[in-house]
Structure 1
Amino acid sequence: MNLNMGILSQSIFHLLWAALVVCQYEDYDFEDDYEEPDQQTPYYFNPNTQAEVPRFPFPVECARECFCPPAFPLSMYCDHRKLKTIPNIPSHVQQLYLQNNAIEAVPAAPFTNVTFVREINLSYNKIKFHMIDQGVFAKLSSLVQLYLQHNELEEFPFPLPSSLERLLLGFNKISRLPGDALEGLPNITTLDLCSNLLDDSVLQDRPFSNMKNLMQLNLCNNKLQTMPPGLPPSLMHLSLENNSISYIPENYFHRLPNIIALRMSHNNLQDVPRNTFNLPNLLELNLGHNKLKQVFYIPRSLQHLYIEGNELENINVTLMCPTLDPLNIHQLTYIRVDQNKLTSPISSYAFFCFPLIRTIYYGEQNVTLNKPTRLRTPVFRRFLTPEEYQEAEDNHETHSQDTEEDHEAQDNNYFYPYFH
């Protein structure tokens, strides 16, 4: 009888332990937006690629400088602790959070026993390229997410494991991409290189061309003067804001049919070939704060168009929409045209071409040198219920009270809306 009870108790213990491990993924809200630097971008675990979980009894070891919550036994939180070195990492850890510290180096010793780690966040530290031990990341064969933004890296931190899927390197000092730096990374889907020191010479060797699964590439806030060459056809989101790009070759996007969102605000574009953006899947196009004097063809898939802060004196709707097709209507719902040189609203023909349009934001126009002027209405809205209209009015009043810093922060938030 005692033997049976012992076996029963042991079985119940094993079941409870298994439920605890499973629930740590079920309880975590992977839908949380990427808002604060110390929040983690949601990652959806693929059961076919997830690393094997150690067998019970489950280890409870945790570095004394860190916190290992019982509800998340595979995670170790060492963030915001003024650490200058990386503590020893227990072998069972799968998520390691070391952001917002004063760490300057990544030695191999703390990772000696690491086997299952899938995510490492080392953002907001003081790490330099030459202070990363050779191959320290490459040996982590289960690693899928690596966060190194807001450090002092002068060079791409290679070699890296082939398992890697998301690599964030924004806000560093990277000015070089060695020829083999991106080789052996077939699973990368997201690569963030915003706010570095990359120029055209760095991209001459087409470093991204062999990244067959790359879906999001962020190159904003660099020193580019031309469009990056050799981008893979898998690309869906491209961010090139705050560079010095002045021209887009006419057939540049023919090899990128899957582009959904393109952001090129704050560049030096003066003219865009008419059919440049004839892309079947394009939903968002942001060309704000360039030097455009004329509009261009709008693909039927496009929903949001931002062309504020240019030098447009009129909006030629026939260039945007040369033909009408009742069976394949344009999906455009929002267009922003403030801070141009418009003296009259967009032609009413626009509402035949774009029957779904809900908002045209005119704002202030730069018609005179020193005195911005408004059209008859700063915002045109249609097809709104009374509740939607009131909500839009409330939002517009809030928007009118935004400070310059608010607008600058919004412009620099290059993650939105790609991570939402």
Structure 2
Amino acid sequence: MQLCTPLLLFTWLLVTSRKVYGQEKEYDYYLELPEEEENPDEPKPPYQTVLCPTDCKCSQEGAVINCAGVDLREFPTNLPDITIHLSLQNNQIEDIPPEDLTRLYKLETLNLQNNRLTSRGIPDDLFERLENLNYLYLANNKLSLAPRFLPNTLISADFAANNITKVYEMTFGHKPNLRSVYLHENKLSDDGIPENVFNHSDNVEILILSSNFLKYVPENLPPALCKLHLQNNRLEKIPSAAFKHLTGLRELYLLNNRLTNEGMDNETFTKLNKLEYLDLSSNNLTHIPGGLPRNIVILHLEKNSIRSVSEDVLTQIRNLEYLLLHNNKLRANGIHPDAFAGLKKLHTVHLYNNLLEKVPPGLPRRVKTLMLLHNQISSISKNDFATTYLLEDLNLSYNKIVSSTVHKDAFRKLRLLKTLEISGNILKSVPYGLPKNLEILKLKDNAISTFPHDTLTGMTKLKELYLSNNKLKISSFYTGAWAELSSLQLLDLSGNQLSYIPPDLPETLEYLYLQNNKIVTVADNAFTSTPNIKGIFLRFNLMTAGSLMEGAFEGLEKLQVLDIESHLTKASRKKEDAESEEEEEEETE
């Protein structure tokens, strides 16, 4: 049974959805009962007539019993002794009488997760008598101790989300078939795990020990491990030899501990030759640890106190593709100009929420996604992006960039750039020299009041333009500005000082956001140039109920959303309602 396949880049989903962010579910396995393989040449025995427990579902021959979520308060007593797969999850069972379970001598799968089982309700040798048991699920119960003895046929054991404080030597020891163990969200301390907890269980590939109270990495971990979760513990130190025998480990999760650079050395990770995913985020590191393996693909270092990236600490990681260094204390002069030299596969770099006062030198030459938002960058120089010609997504939002400090040739090499975000800066005008191949441009939350002539020239691929919360007036746009944008689908001009609908909007426009402006009226020809528009948002302007010209929205066959609600229209409606009520009262009298 192959549980640990090579790490695919679907793991990158963790980068964007972890939200830096919150703890995800530790594991994901199927609780569906396996189907037995049929041999068409083998004669089938006659089916027995079995008595299926009330509200349960049973296969005809009684080998598969599903009593999940039927509000059982006691372990069922009338199960057929030929049962192979038994599901009892999501009930209220508190104990298991030995005589009712041990007679199920053929049992291979037993799912008891999400019940009310306590250690008192499970005798020490209860499961050991099930000599064919492969899969045991006891997660989400009230166990304080792990079962002392388990059958040596076990393949997977899940004891997550209990109150377990102790595991015994024979709980997981001497299990040659054991492949996965889930112990996260318990109360295990270092004293609760014996030194030889996996003695003669050398084939374990997945071990989940996160969300416990461990201060040290357990000793003598199974050599076949390929996935090890130790996050959300109290680890302060990792001895040099802790991982030296885990030469097949592919994923190592150490986030949200108390690790410092003094608690590791250059030998801690060197033997992990197959490691592809390493998460050291949310610790107390002040610099990147040395001796990281060359096969790492995704490296999480966010939420530390890292102040520097030295010349050679990353350059040996030749397979590095994703580098997450956000939420640290990096300044531009703390990143060596050659820190990313030779990293030909590195395409995603997160440096946001640091202390960068300028774009750091020596950026990876093949970077495609660069996140520099929420720093203190005040200018964009001519050569800041001169070597990053493969950039597709650049985010410079919420820095201190001033229009006059953006060099007109700063973006000249970025011919593949699709998304540029410079929101939340101190721009007073749209910068010159914007890349012509942009598809998304975000300039919201600035102080922009002018569009210099030809700043939008050649942007025939631009689909989305965000200019909300600036100081734009109708006079801010040069004549023909919108005609340049022949692919524009979304235009956000909300939160500005527009007095009417901008004329000559592009024919391709589908969504127009104009809320929170000073628009008084909507002319009858306001949307004649936008026959494909689907959504118009005019909420909170200065319009009254009679300020909409007749026919203003005629001919817009694709229009789906029209939002013209405002404080004044509400007042007008209240006035109209009041007048209508008065008329009705007069008629009644």
TM-score (norm 1): 0.72
- Are 2:248 and 1:116 equivalent residues in the alignment? yes
Q: Is the 8 A contact 2:398 2:424 kept in 1?
A: yes
Q: Partners of 2:178 and 2:562 in 1: how far apart?
A: 52
Residue 130 to residue 338, structure 1, CA distance change in 2 (3 Å): same
Contiguous gaps of at least 5 residues in structure 1: 1-16, 42-56, 324-328, 394-420
Q: Is the 8 A contact 2:315 2:340 kept in 1?
A: no
Q: Partners of 1:132 and 1:140 in 2: how far apart?
A: 14
Q: 2:237 aligns with which of 99, 105, 115?
A: 105
- Are 2:437 and 1:307 equivalent residues in the alignment? no
Q: Partners of 1:289 and 1:103 in 2: how far apart?
A: 38
Query: What secondary structure is seen at the aligned counterpart in 1 of 2:311?
Result: coil
Q: Which residue does the alignment assign to 2:299? A: 167
Q: Partners of 2:343 and 2:8 in 1: how far apart?
A: 33
Per-residue deviation, 1:266: 1.2
Q: Which moved more, 1:26-35 or 1:296-305?
A: 26-35
Per-residue deviation, 1:283: 0.9
Q: 1:367-396, CA deviations, whole angstroms, 9 ceiling, x for partnerless residues? A: 9xxxx962539xx98734589965797xxx
- Are 2:220 and 1:86 equivalent residues in the alignment? no
Q: Which residue does the alignment assign to 1:76? A: 207
Q: Is the 8 A contact 2:244 2:272 kept in 1?
A: no
Contiguous gaps of at least 5 residues in structure 2: 27-174, 186-202, 499-514, 521-526, 536-556, 564-589
Residue 244 to residue 349, structure 1, CA distance change in 2 (3 Å): same
Q: Partners of 2:223 and 2:372 in 1: how far apart?
A: 40
Query: What secondary structure is seen at the aligned counterpart in 1 of 2:385?
Result: helix
- Are 2:228 and 1:96 equivalent residues in the alignment? yes
- The count of aligned residue pairs is 345
Residue identity in the other structure for 1:360 = L
Report percent identity of matched pairs: 25
Q: Which moved more, 1:257-266 or 1:310-319?
A: 310-319
Map 1:112-151; keep pairs closer than 5 Å.
Answer: 112-151=244-283
Map 1:26-105; keep pairs closer than 5 Å.
Answer: 34-36=16-18, 37-39=22-24, 59-60=177-178, 65=183, 74-88=205-219, 89-105=221-237
Q: Partners of 2:286 and 2:7 in 1: how far apart?
A: 39
Residue 126 to residue 217, structure 1, CA distance change in 2 (3 Å): same
Per-residue deviation, 1:32: 5.2
- Are 2:328 and 1:185 equivalent residues in the alignment? no
Residue 64 to residue 266, structure 1, CA distance change in 2 (3 Å): closer
Query: What secondary structure is seen at the aligned counterpart in 1 of 2:228?
Result: strand
Q: Which residue does the alignment assign to 1:247? A: 379
Q: Partners of 2:485 and 2:533 in 1: how far apart?
A: 16
Q: 1:59-94, CA deviations, whole angstroms, 9 ceiling, x for partnerless residues? A: 416678559xxxx96322222223333224311111
Q: 1:32-51, CA deviations, whole angstroms, 9 ceiling, x for partnerless residues? A: 5642343499xxxxxxxxxx
- Are 2:492 and 1:361 equivalent residues in the alignment? yes
Residue identity in the other structure for 1:255 = T
Residue 248 to residue 30, structure 1, CA distance change in 2 (3 Å): closer
Q: Is the 8 A contact 1:343 1:375 kept in 2?
A: no
Q: Is the 8 A contact 1:359 1:382 kept in 2?
A: no
- Are 2:474 and 1:338 equivalent residues in the alignment? no
Per-residue deviation, 1:317: 5.7
- Are 2:362 and 1:230 equivalent residues in the alignment? yes
Query: What secondary structure is seen at the aligned counterpart in 1 of 2:454?
Result: helix
Q: Is the 8 A contact 2:373 2:398 kept in 1?
A: yes
Q: Is the 8 A contact 1:62 1:90 kept in 2?
A: no
Query: What secondary structure is seen at the aligned counterpart in 1 of 2:17?
Result: coil
Residue identity in the other structure for 2:436 = R
Residue 144 to residue 25, structure 1, CA distance change in 2 (3 Å): closer
Q: Which residue does the alignment assign to 2:199? A: none
Which structure shows the bigger proportion of residues in helix conformation? 1
Query: What secondary structure is seen at the aligned counterpart in 2 of 1:201?
Result: helix
Residue 225 to residue 206, structure 1, CA distance change in 2 (3 Å): farther
Q: Which residue does the alignment assign to 1:376? A: 519
Q: Which residue does the alignment assign to 1:8? A: none
Per-residue deviation, 1:31: 8.3
Residue 138 to residue 391, structure 1, CA distance change in 2 (3 Å): farther
Query: What secondary structure is seen at the aligned counterpart in 2 of 1:130?
Result: helix
Q: Partners of 1:125 and 1:142 in 2: how far apart?
A: 23
C-alpha root-mean-square deviation of aligned residues, in Å? 3.6
Q: Partners of 1:236 and 1:392 in 2: how far apart?
A: 38
Residue 269 to residue 383, structure 1, CA distance change in 2 (3 Å): same
Query: What secondary structure is seen at the aligned counterpart in 1 of 2:334?
Result: helix
Q: Which moved more, 1:139-148 or 1:199-208?
A: 199-208
Per-residue deviation, 1:108: 3.4
Q: Partners of 1:80 and 1:251 in 2: how far apart?
A: 46
TM-score (norm 2): 0.52
Per-residue deviation, 1:226: 1.7
Q: Is the 8 A contact 1:362 1:375 kept in 2?
A: no
Q: Partners of 1:194 and 1:211 in 2: how far apart?
A: 19
Residue identity in the other structure for 1:115 = T
Query: What secondary structure is seen at the aligned counterpart in 2 of 1:157?
Result: coil
Q: Which moved more, 1:225-234 or 1:343-352?
A: 343-352
Q: Partners of 1:108 and 1:38 in 2: how far apart?
A: 28
Q: Partners of 2:519 and 2:391 in 1: how far apart?
A: 36
Residue 383 to residue 95, structure 1, CA distance change in 2 (3 Å): farther
Q: Is the 8 A contact 1:76 1:97 kept in 2?
A: yes
Residue 203 to residue 28, structure 1, CA distance change in 2 (3 Å): closer
Per-residue deviation, 1:268: 1.3
Per-residue deviation, 1:131: 0.7
Q: Is the 8 A contact 1:197 1:223 kept in 2?
A: yes
Q: Is the 8 A contact 1:225 1:246 kept in 2?
A: yes
Residue identity in the other structure for 1:356 = S
Per-residue deviation, 1:340: 1.2
Q: 1:106-127, CA deviations, whole angstroms, 9 ceiling, x for partnerless residues? A: 2234424312001111111111
